[in-house]
Chains A and B, each alone.
Chain A
Amino acid sequence: MSDIIQIQNLSKHFGNIVGVNDVTLDINEGEFVTILGPSGCGKSTLLRMIAGFEQPTQGHIFLDEKDVTNTPANKREVNMVFQDYALFPHLKVGANVGYGLKVNGVNKSDRQQPIIDALNLVGLSDKIDNMPHELSGGQRQRVALARALVRRPKVLLLDEPLSALDANLREQMQVELRHLHKKVGLTFIMVTHDQTEAMVMSQRVVVMKEGQIAQMGTPSDLYDHPANSYVANFIGTTNLFSSTATKTSSNQININYFGQPLQIAANDKILTSGTEQIFGFRPEKAVLVHDHRQATNGLQGKVKEVLYQGLAARILINVGAGEIAIDQMLSETKENARLPSEGDQVTIEIDPHKIMAFEQGHIT
């Protein structure tokens, strides 16, 4: 597959503020890529530069191997679905969808069919003569999608497309957008701050932090192999702690969690030079053992809170000065699923291979 979009060393400064800082990113044709990050991380600025609404301070954007860095928005073969839809309030749904077709030199009589097709695609062909204000939020979202898709852009840009919808509708639209992506086969680039949305919908996720790419990869890459503690904490939950690592004579590597010893499996990220670095493990990778004498790589603590979540329970445990979250599945047999109560002394066991080592640093 060829790269439909190539972003090379792209930066955007707003006065003294750096919005996007030296981002390089290639996006394959037909891919569904999500740019994920907290507000202010530069993800929207990056998308707006691809759309042509913002002029980069440095760097280049290539669309289908053509340099479009200085091409104005109206000349770029990309289309955007705006966060609050940006439907033209004075035009009917049909005219909104057909708005961009006039420019492409499509005759008025030939414009009707693509409009109907695009509205069919989002299941709204019966609303062609309605005004936007007569539609619900979800319907407006679909019209915005139809309007962007009708021009068959090379890339469809989605700027937090689901953030204005309520929770149920959002989940439904997540699935619909995935289906739509498969059906039309276009490249989708979505921006969101919602990690679940990013994980559910996209083939590849680009995590951004302070204008730079913190990590990119498939959702499972990011979850199972986060490159740094920022990604580990942003995608899902991770029990992060800092420690120094020491190698014993028997080639074991020892670290400690707030004073309690732990073993970690050998890993090229571990610094055995005595510098403090960050480690972490996922809540579901730790298990409660009922008899602490049987624990092989255990930590002892006191249950602080038990949060029942149906499928699983999250148990917060105070271990020394730290707090550990573990998830216990409840779908197993009743005995295994026995939940501790607040205040219980418990032992947590962690597989040394499931502890991740991150960058140098300290967590208080």
Chain B
Amino acid sequence: MKIIQRGKLAAGAVLSLPLIWTILFMFVPYAILFVYSFWEKKYPTFEAAFQFGNYFTIFTDPQYFQVLLRTGKIAAFVSFFSALLAYPFAYFLIFKVKTNGTRQLLYMAVIAPLWISYLLRAYTWKTILGTNGILNSFLIWAGITNEPTDIFLYNQFAMILTLTYVFIPFMVMPIYTSLEKIPKNLIEASADLGLNGFMTFIKVTLPLSIPGLVAGFTLTFCLSFGDFIASFLVGGPDGLMIANVISSQFGAALNWPLGSALAIIMLVIVLTIISISDRFERLGEAKL
């Protein structure tokens, strides 16, 4: 008995630090946020209450609801374009590149930017798309335009471009892994049974790579959904995201209750997506 108790004590000692960490820095802040979301704004600050006014505001005031919609739309576009670019790339690496070295090199070329600060990578697009940027300089040099244009920057297009660039490794990685896991003899078996390359892709490769696609969609969507910096750097008023609105509620607007309610809604959306994709992935895993 004593040994068991001592074992429990040891396990408790090992677990206590991460447990305390998680409680202190994860659950407590969430709880505070949750409580705050029911508080009430009273100029100049806010006071404790229990009412659903903040949530009501979010769903009735088009200003907030539209930002939520726009954020969702931008995140969806980013996931879509990431998949559109990442899938053929991963497919090419797995099925067309013959040598392992080349495959690793090309794979790393996509993954390596993750080691560079995200801020810097997003900022790069500002220098490319900006009024005095590379794109404008090129257009003037090529004689296509006479003076620099500002149409490239500070819009949703710039946002989607930047976020796609920034988050595409998170799409490439899971797709690459799922394609890599497909046994090569399944492709051969399909050809053996009379299907051409395209039909084999539709009937075997694509269905078996869906878990990777779902994981990639989840990652890029959730990351884009919570993004704050791209909007700040290249988005402009048209590219305002939910995270920017939340930050302003906690800052200039000094409306912590509304900010908390927005954060809770954002959290619920992201968690819903993650749990759906998780269930989907488990469904796919059982088959393999």
Contact = CB atoms under 8 A, between A and B. Distances in A.
Interface in B77-115: none
Given A131-B287, A133-B287, A88 B194 contact: no
Interface in B164-200: 183, 185-186, 188-196, 199
Q: Which of B183, B191, B193 has the most CB of A within 10 A?
A: B193
B196 A86 contact: no
Contacts of A131: 287
A75 B288 CA distance: 28
B208 A74 contact: no
Contacts of B208: 89-90
Contact of B287 (A72, A86, A90, A100): A90
A136 to B, nearest CB: 17
Interface string B195-210: 1100100011001100
Contacts of A52: 191-192
B95 to A, nearest CB: 14
Given A131-B287, A133-B286, A86 B189 contact: yes
A184 to B, nearest CB: 17
Contacts, number: 71
Nearest to B187: A86
B199 to A, nearest CB: 8
Main secondary structure of the interface of A (DSSP, over half): loop
Contact size range, B: 20 to 34
A248 to B, nearest CB: 61
A100 B188 contact: no
B207 A90 contact: yes
Given A89-B287, A89-B288, A74 B194 contact: yes
Given A53-B188, A84-B185, A103 B193 contact: yes
B185 A86 contact: yes
B235 to A, nearest CB: 40
Contact of B193 (A84, A133, A151): A151
Nearest to B196: A74
B281 to A, nearest CB: 14
A123 B203 CA distance: 27
A78 B192 CA distance: 7
A73 interface: yes
Contacts of A88: 186, 189-190, 203-204
A86 B195 contact: no
B190 A99 contact: yes
B192 A80 contact: yes
Interface in B46-74: none
A72 B197 CA distance: 10
Interface of B: 183, 185-186, 188-196, 199, 203-204, 207-208, 284, 286-288
Interface of A: 51-53, 72-75, 78-80, 82-84, 86-90, 99-100, 103-104, 131, 133, 147-148, 151
5 contacts: A82-B188, A83-B185, A103-B193, A103-B194, A104-B194
Q: 6 nearest interchain CB pairs?
A: A100-B193, A103-B194, A86-B189, A73-B191, A86-B185, A74-B191
